[in-house]
Amino acid sequence: MSKLDSIKTGLKDLQFVKIPVVKDHRGNLAYLQWGDMPFDFKRVYYIFDIPSGAKRGGHAHLVSKDLLIAISGSFDVIVDDGQERRRIHLNNPETGLVTPNGIWRELDNFSANSICLILNSELFSEDEYIRDYEEFVRFKKIAR
């Protein structure tokens, strides 16, 4: 598959995932289990201690997919497929958002003490990132 083939996705390919939760009067337990997610994940990371007004993301992946979960607090995910842009508010640790490859994503509007957990389908490789929005739009136009 070429780089261009890998970014033919659109906002129609976004997916919400219900995170399994065991409810208990002592506190709830949510879990992410290998094989139960929409993709196998190879990397897990989280964003925390975000200063007021800060933005994160600002890139698209050529290959990898992300599952984003607001495990504490809330934030917005701005997704863009080169033709349409949408803002999605995440504020529930029981719901995750899968962003496929070929989707520009930005995160902002973080509440105090928010934590964003991300599961990624690939090991880190700078070569699979598009970090310039204009370059991303050019890639999407060529890929259509």
Residue 59 is among the residues annotated as catalytic for this protein:
yes
> In whole angstroms, what is the distance from residue 22 CA to residue 86 CA?
32
Burial (CB count <10 Å: 0-12, 13-18, 19+), residue 72: middle
Q: Which residue has the tokens 């995910």?
A: 77
The residue annotated as part of the active site, out of 25, 59, 61, 89, is: 59
Residue 72 CB partners (closer than 8 Å, separation 6+):
93, 113, 114, 115
> In whole angstroms, what is the distance from residue 128 CA to residue 1 CA?
13
With residue 142 as reference, give the H or E element that holds it: helix 133-143
Report, as residue numbers or ranges, the catalytic residues. 59
